[in-house]
Amino acid sequence: MKQINRINNLGLINRSKLIEFYFNDKKLYAFEGDTLASALLANGFIFTSRSIKYHRPRGLFAHDISEPNSIMQVSIEDKEFINVQATDIYLYNNMVIKSINHWPSLDFDIFSLKRIFSKFFLPGFIYKTFMYPRLLWDFYEKLIRKTKGFGKLKLEEDLLRYEKKHSNTDILIIGTGPSAISFAYSVLKFGYKIIMVEQDSIFSPTMLDIENSFTDDKQKNEFSQIKDYVLKHSNTTILLNTKLSSFNDHNFSTLIQNSSVINLSESNYSPDQILWKIRSTKVVIAAGAIERPMLFENNDLPGIMSSKSISMYLNRYGVIPGKNIVLYTNNDYSYQMIFDLLKNGISVSAVIDVRKNINDEILVKLQKNNIKVILHHEVIKAYGNKFINKIDISSIDKKEKTTIKCSVLAVSNGYTPINQYHVQSGGLLSYKEEIDSFVPIETKFSPIHIGGSAGIFDLAESIKSAYLKSLTLIDKKMADLKKTSELNNFKNTNNYSISKYLPSVIYNMNTKNIFVDYQTDTSLFDIKYAIKEGFIFVDQLRRYTLFGTGIEQGKHSNDNILFLLADILDLKPDQIGHVKSRPPFSSINFGAISGRSNNEFFDPIRITPIHNWHKQNNAIFENVGQWKRPLYYQKFNESMEESVNRECLAVRNSVGVIDASTLGKIEVVGPDSIEFLNMIYPNKFTNMKIAKCKYSLMLNDEGMIFDDGVIAKLDENHYLIHTTSSGASTVLDWLDQWLQTEWDHFNVSLRSVTDKWTTISVNGPKSRDLASRLFENVDFSNESFPFMSYKETSVDDIPIRIFRVSFSGELCFEINVPSNYGQYFWDKTFELGRDLSIVPYGTEAMHVLRAEKGFIIVGQDTDGSVTPIDIGAIKMLSKSKDFLGKRSLDRPYFHENGRKQLVGILPDDFKNRIYDGAHIKNINDEILTGDILGHITSSYFSPILNKSIALALVKNGNAMIGQKVLIIDMNLNKNYGTITKPVFYDEKGVKQQ
């Protein structure tokens, strides 16, 4: 096992644990704690991927989530990850990694021939080329889609387990670098609770190279103690492997944890990824800054890397990308990489700096180590195929040109502070010339930015300024007292500088292969071409050229492009505006957003107390709103139709029982209840007697049927109203809304009691016999207990409510018992009804029975445009009082010819059911000719009548009774039937009486 680029005894990785992994089918080795990126570098893999558009060879550029090039497809055991940045995933044994965007292999990619035609692939190529002929677009689209995109999505079920967690804190600090530690130390002293977030698996990884930056040993020790204090404080919570995904209004933040680690534990229950939702008083962004690449020809070759990242790979993982390293920079901060390398005995071949002068102390150190320093020069071209091997450099005045050999070119074109969170929440940025960057303009509502994120790159200065910013949160007098803190003594002594640099080549239209956005293969030429076409606004330019739209969202490229745009248009960067960042900041799985809210936890399920009995008795369930209701009970190998027929006939001939607990029940209490009900329902309740029931429709203010149910008068000023099962909560909200807005003078109180009662609905000619056995103390005779009345009784002090109503058209008693005793009474009902051939029946049989009687289901036989007049319930509309919808119903339109009316249909082929929704036309019309008169709303086979029946809404239906009509179903089959009255069975209602 040899890792050619690994440095001994350096980095925070577990060298005692070796890991085997496969990269493009080649077995490689790494150590525990290595990311894929560090392991590839350690194994000498500089060329790691192909670019998306031209399939150019690419290598690692960065060390973190700003990495634009190395996008991988990763699988381990049965878990699969797509579009993973090599820098953003830790390695595990037997992990299989494939690079993407090539065929047949990374080394030999046939699609790299596209480069030959690159001059044709201008911005807008697809839009312009494939517009004509329009008929071929479907064909083009398939081809284009095959060539686009990054990873390959696995179509099987995602086996990762996701969680959401909520937390609340005083201050949420994003980052664990020196400025974050300084801020945390200060606020902890004042008793604040903090959460610190680190994307790495170790706390404060940047301190590894930053500790080298302390020139003063006393300050170094002092800061080490401060770091320990923060780490050990009881008010500190640290979230490792966590990234801030979005910053939202009111300091609500979402974070993703463990997207870089994989849970391989045997337990299935530890979450793989966690979406944190954290509410805090203030959010502090201490996430640092991103180093920008330099612009020159072939600036995307493998081996060209960010100088800061080379430091990180060295200090964090003990890895260097190669031996012959050259630095190309425009600022003093990037020289830290050289000092880190020197400390470990690795030299740098040369330094090319675009500036005329650099910091004196740095210059002395470089000269002392015999490093060649070439000032006021720029790199104009890099050479190599699958990795860099030399560069051409030229003096800025173009008078001198020379070539330098190198295997690694470290670049630094200044730094972009992490300001995306600020911009996400609508914050503005301002251009700061001395650091050549945009920094956030903070407001009362924005996050606080410190350290590199605030554009402060000097170590001591960022520590001190973070401390001073923390005082803005604290009471002013207290803050004055605390200005004596040791953090106040950190002072910037370095006097480092950054010089704004753009290559003169930007004014030359013929430049090629200067890439400004690696991930989308956007070149300098593309930008200039788009500007020439008039795309001079940032977001227009972005959409046209696609820069910043990849997985890393242009973290390393956006600012470079803004400066180019400003320069080409001869404007200041401030006048250009900036790219609008949107969440998420880094890629996030859809699974993490949904959390556990999938499969059985997608939507709440309501069950009745008898649910388990239904299950044990082979009930097939259907969803009614959130309720689970038995559709039918399957016996032996019955088909659904056979089960339903059996259940229907049992109800018609003996006794059937249905669990009707799901019916909505609302208690109406108060002295104005009667007035309230008179307004809500079209019927009149004024003379209603205690213990009587009344069926009514509920109308909306437009006069349309909105719900229906039975209203029972339980006592003086005490009513129980029933609603449909799925409409119960909507009705309660609707009633409460009227009470709170229009009728707040009514002294009425509402409360849902749906869950309080289990409703056992006993139906059929033998139901009286059965009910009498259940409650021997109640007289169930017709005289004592007539249709549409109500009785109360009790068993062992348990209150029982019995309603004599019917939705089946049979003699029926709806027995309501407290839910805790629901199962007991249900069992007792079946025990006592055994010799009466009792059967349970489901909602499908319920529908057949009610359709035979012409009873409507709101939402099935009505559709929000149906009035009581349309269904023949005009007698229900009281003329002597006002009610909701009354004025709307007075409109002439509702009384004119042409309205659809509820009728029955008897199909000619009486054995076959017609599909619900089938269209009804005149008998002489054809499938494609003639007007549609209406549609079938309910259609069933009636076992008692031994024929198919249907309910329908038909234009002028009542006048067409007796006429034959054409019925066309959704498969365009022609059927014929006769329009009838909507009641097919026991028209006079004798049986239910």
Partner 1 sequence: MKVKPYISHSELNKVRNNKNISISEVYFKHYFNIKFDRKIVYDQDIILEIEDIKIPNTYNKITYYDNDRLIWLSPYEWMYITNSDKFHNLCKSPKYEYIDDLKSIIDLSSAYTTIKLSGEYYINVLNKITTLDILENITSEYCAQSLISNIKTIIWMDNLTKGIFLTVNSSYSQYLFETILDASQEFI
616 counts as binding partner 1 under rule CB under 8 A: no
The angle, 0 to 180 degrees and rounded to 10, between the axes of the packed helices 558-568 and 538-545 is 120
607 counts as binding partner 1 under rule CB under 8 A: yes
User: In angstroms, what is the minimal distance from the CB of 192 to partner 1?
Assistant: 15
User: In angstroms, what is the minimal distance from the CB of 583 to partner 1?
Assistant: 18
630 counts as binding partner 1 under rule CB under 8 A: no
User: In angstroms, what is the minimal distance from the CB of 648 to partner 1?
Assistant: 27
Which residue, 3 or 608, has its beta carbon nearer to partner 1? 608
Which residue, 256 or 876, has its beta carbon nearer to partner 1? 256
611 counts as binding partner 1 under rule CB under 8 A: yes
* Tokens read off for 98: 């494939």
Which residue, 612 or 946, has its beta carbon nearer to partner 1? 612
Q: Is the peptide bond before 584 cis (omega within 30 degrees of 0)?
A: yes
What is the number of other CB atoms lying within 10 angstroms of the CB of residue 970?
Answer: 10
Among 88-96, 773-781, 813-821, 933-941, which window interacts with partner 1 (CB under 8 A)? 813-821
Among 267-275, 436-444, 483-491, 888-896, which window interacts with partner 1 (CB under 8 A)? 267-275
Among 303-311, 693-701, 814-822, 882-890, which window interacts with partner 1 (CB under 8 A)? 814-822
What is the number of other CB atoms lying within 10 angstroms of the CB of residue 273?
Answer: 22
Q: Which residues contact 713 (CB under 8 A, 6 or more apart)?
A: 685, 688, 689, 690, 691, 692, 693, 719, 790
266 counts as binding partner 1 under rule CB under 8 A: no
Pick the binder of partner 1 from 277, 386, 432, 955 (CB under 8 A): 277
3-state DSSP assignment of residue 360: helix
Pseudo-torsion of CA 98, 104, 106, 112, nearest 10°? -130
Pick the binder of partner 1 from 608, 683, 696, 937 (CB under 8 A): 608
Q: What does the alpha-carbon distance between residue 36 and residue 705 come to, in Å, rounded to a whole number?
A: 63
Rounded alpha-carbon distances, angstroms, from residue 236 to 128, 843, 874? 56, 57, 70
The H-or-E segment that residue 391 falls in is strand 388-395
Q: Is residue 433 classed exposed, middle or buried when 0-12, 13-18 and 19+ CB atoms within 10 A define those classes? A: exposed
Pick the binder of partner 1 from 112, 167, 349, 888 (CB under 8 A): 167
Among 268-276, 283-291, 431-439, 890-898, which window interacts with partner 1 (CB under 8 A)? 268-276
Q: Which residues contact 486 (CB under 8 A, 6 or more apart)?
A: 222, 226
* Tokens read off for 946: 């031994």
627 counts as binding partner 1 under rule CB under 8 A: yes
240 counts as binding partner 1 under rule CB under 8 A: no
267 counts as binding partner 1 under rule CB under 8 A: yes
271 counts as binding partner 1 under rule CB under 8 A: yes
112, β-bridge pairs: none
Which residue, 390 or 606, has its beta carbon nearer to partner 1? 606
- Count CA atoms within 13 Å of residue 70 on its CB side: 32
What is the number of other CB atoms lying within 10 angstroms of the CB of residue 643?
Answer: 23
User: In angstroms, what is the minimal distance from the CB of 265 to partner 1?
Assistant: 10
504 counts as binding partner 1 under rule CB under 8 A: no
Considering only CA atoms, which of 341, 332, 342, 337 is closest in space to residue 363?
Answer: 332
930 counts as binding partner 1 under rule CB under 8 A: no
User: In angstroms, what is the minimal distance from the CB of 93 to partner 1?
Assistant: 23
821 counts as binding partner 1 under rule CB under 8 A: yes
741 counts as binding partner 1 under rule CB under 8 A: no
Considering only CA atoms, which of 62, 60, 80, 56 is closest in space to residue 70?
Answer: 60
Residues 658-717 that bind partner 1 (CB under 8 A): 667, 669-670
Pick the binder of partner 1 from 14, 597, 781, 794 (CB under 8 A): 597
Pick the binder of partner 1 from 79, 114, 164, 981 (CB under 8 A): 164
Pick the binder of partner 1 from 598, 782, 794, 820 (CB under 8 A): 820
Pairing, β 79-85 against β 242-248: unpaired
User: Total residues contacting partner 1 (rule CB under 8 A)?
Assistant: 51
Which residue, 268 or 484, has its beta carbon nearer to partner 1? 268
List the Cα angle 771/777/783 in 5-degree steps.
70
The H-or-E segment that residue 479 falls in is helix 476-481
Q: Which residues contact 14 (CB under 8 A, 6 or more apart)?
A: 31, 32, 33
Pick the binder of partner 1 from 360, 603, 733, 896 (CB under 8 A): 603
Q: Which residues contact 419 (CB under 8 A, 6 or more apart)?
A: 427, 429, 438, 439, 440, 449, 453, 581
Q: What does the alpha-carbon distance between residue 568 and residue 733 come to, in Å, rounded to a whole number?
A: 60
| Count of positions (residues) in the chain | 993
159 counts as binding partner 1 under rule CB under 8 A: no
* Tokens read off for 215: 């020139």
User: In angstroms, what is the minimal distance from the CB of 588 to partner 1?
Assistant: 18
User: In angstroms, what is the minimal distance from the CB of 203 to partner 1?
Assistant: 21
The answer to whether 657 and 762 are in contact (CB under 8 A) is yes
What is the number of other CB atoms lying within 10 angstroms of the CB of residue 603?
Answer: 8
Which residue, 193 or 947, has its beta carbon nearer to partner 1? 193
User: In angstroms, what is the minimal distance from the CB of 831 to partner 1?
Assistant: 14
787 counts as binding partner 1 under rule CB under 8 A: no
* Tokens read off for 633: 């009970």
Which residue, 573 or 664, has its beta carbon nearer to partner 1? 664
165 counts as binding partner 1 under rule CB under 8 A: yes
Among 78-86, 198-206, 317-325, 603-611, which window interacts with partner 1 (CB under 8 A)? 603-611
One character per residue 743-762, x = contact with partner 1 (rule: CB under 8 A): -x--xxx-xxxxxx------
Pick the binder of partner 1 from 163, 216, 222, 916 (CB under 8 A): 163
User: In angstroms, what is the minimal distance from the CB of 95 to partner 1?
Assistant: 23
601 counts as binding partner 1 under rule CB under 8 A: yes
596 counts as binding partner 1 under rule CB under 8 A: yes
* Tokens read off for 768: 């009286």
User: In angstroms, what is the minimal distance from the CB of 249 to partner 1?
Assistant: 15
The answer to whether 596 and 163 are in contact (CB under 8 A) is yes
Which residue, 747 or 772, has its beta carbon nearer to partner 1? 747
User: In angstroms, what is the minimal distance from the CB of 599 to partner 1?
Assistant: 10
955 counts as binding partner 1 under rule CB under 8 A: no
Pick the binder of partner 1 from 108, 117, 120, 269 (CB under 8 A): 269
Pick the binder of partner 1 from 819, 878, 888, 963 (CB under 8 A): 819
HEC profile of 876-889: HCCCCCCCCCHHHH
Considering only CA atoms, which of 122, 72, 125, 130 is closest in space to residue 101?
Answer: 72
User: In angstroms, what is the minimal distance from the CB of 627 to partner 1?
Assistant: 7
Residue with tokens 């675009």: 354
Among 209-217, 449-457, 552-560, 812-820, which window interacts with partner 1 (CB under 8 A)? 812-820
835 counts as binding partner 1 under rule CB under 8 A: no
Residue 900: φ, ψ to 5°: -80, 135
Considering only CA atoms, which of 196, 190, 282 is closest in space to residue 232?
Answer: 196
Q: What does the alpha-carbon distance between residue 374 and residue 326 come to, in Å, rounded to a whole number?
A: 11
Q: What does the alpha-carbon distance between residue 69 and residue 307 come to, in Å, rounded to a whole number?
A: 16
Pairing, β 448-449 against β 273-285: parallel
User: In angstroms, what is the minimal distance from the CB of 246 to partner 1?
Assistant: 16
824 counts as binding partner 1 under rule CB under 8 A: yes
Pick the binder of partner 1 from 4, 143, 605, 874 (CB under 8 A): 605
- Binding residues (CB under 8 A) for partner 1: these are 163-168, 267-271, 277, 279, 596-597, 600-601, 603-609, 611-612, 627, 667, 669-670, 740, 744, 747-749, 751-756, 795-796, 798, 818-824
